[in-house]
Structure 1
């Protein structure tokens, strides 16, 4: 069944181009484009799995979280956005931030979001987000950096660059289930509840100096690779 995508915002021309790109993709279906005032009512009826919103509609994220089956929300923004905007959107509950994506990048991002992942594109957004969240004085002064094996450090470096398990596995020539085990061990050692918190803690503790450059968005090569990458690993 196609992934159901809803568009929320005011830029009618932009949203129409996105809608066409989505509906030309067999595994995606745009269930509508609506102004944010109509979003909650329409979403309760149409039950989208992913919602695209504009940078001026962050209040829609709160409505999305109040739905019976909350969709993943991605924010489309422009290159001239404020430096703290990615952090503001993430704290509001966005799972993706896309800056003027190409149609191919948009389609791949929607697929990742539909599988429970997070997307920051281009990669500079993720690095800017880590820099904005960096606050050494806020780290627990009693917390020492955990001991990581060389392999765990390699996985953590790629995790901090925004890569999902399947791409980490491909880059390190590992099985996806092995990467999942490494990620779970890293979260446990850092005391983190998810990948985002792990990346922030790693940065605060000085474990990662410069995140490795992330790969361009591209569809995963096989259906088996998609199914092997668990949504919340």
Structure 2
């Protein structure tokens, strides 16, 4: 089955460009488009996309609120990739905290766009550039540190979280730790459960905000 993608951006040229790039791939299908975040929830319910490529800044309902709306009101919500012009935009970080699974720059090369869509569809996280890591560190707080301490990660789970924060996939983590992919998958699931994180992106944000991982 192809990866079904919904495009949400108030610029028709951006949507057309993304559609052309994605539909050139045999395993990706663009199932719909929207010009504002206000249309996202009904479209997600009717089209059931696997991934939503969502502009972060739109006139009526921005990508942050649209992300919250989807996660709050849709059963088995799709993965959400925020599409943005600037990688160090605080809106991007707010969208990630709201539950987006990663972000994509509008100037990204076609191969990078395709790779990002496939990556999040498979449940992996997108590597955050240093600027966004620094933003995460700015949000650091005592409650975040206390929450991570309460999680009581094992040494191996802590190792896995550090590697997740570097943007490594399960396969890459397995190679780094010299363990099986299924073992890594189990550790990732344990980390998410202990942190109360919806997905890998939320776990990585928790790691940075708590100071468990430094932005350097």
Fold conserved between structures, TM > 0.5 = yes
For 1:77 and 1:137, the matched residues in 2 are separated by 30
When Rg is computed on C-alpha atoms for both structures, the one with the higher figure is 1
Moved more, 137-146 or 126-135: 137-146
Query: What is the aligned partner in structure 1 of residue 41 from structure 2?
Result: 40
Aligned-pair distance for 1:97?
A: 1.4
What SS does the aligned partner of 1:163 have?
Answer: coil
Aligned-pair distance for 1:137?
A: 6.5
Aligned-pair distance for 1:25?
A: 0.6
Query: What is the aligned partner in structure 2 of residue 169 from structure 1?
Result: 174
Query: What is the aligned partner in structure 1 of residue 196 from structure 2?
Result: 193
What SS does the aligned partner of 1:119 have?
Answer: coil
Give the alignment's TM-score, normalised by structure 2: 0.77
Runs of 4+, deviation exceeding 6 Å: none
Give the alignment's TM-score, normalised by structure 1: 0.72
Aligned-pair distance for 1:81?
A: 5.2
Aligned-pair distance for 1:33?
A: 2.0
Query: What is the aligned partner in structure 1 of residue 78 from structure 2?
Result: 71
What SS does the aligned partner of 1:139 have?
Answer: helix
Deviations 1:40-91 (A, max 9, x none): 3433332211111111132322442323442211111112753x22331023
Matched, 1:132 2:138: yes
Equivalent pairs counted in the alignment come to 206
For 1:142 and 1:181, the matched residues in 2 are separated by 19
Aligned-pair distance for 1:135?
A: 2.1
Query: What is the aligned partner in structure 1 of residue 21 from structure 2?
Result: 21
What SS does the aligned partner of 1:74 have?
Answer: strand
For 1:142 and 1:47, the matched residues in 2 are separated by 34
For 1:174 and 1:77, the matched residues in 2 are separated by 36
RMSD: 3.1
For 1:202 and 1:17, the matched residues in 2 are separated by 35
Aligned-pair distance for 1:205?
A: 5.5
For 1:12 and 1:142, the matched residues in 2 are separated by 43
What SS does the aligned partner of 1:79 have?
Answer: coil
Query: What is the aligned partner in structure 1 of residue 120 from structure 2?
Result: 113
What SS does the aligned partner of 1:39 have?
Answer: helix
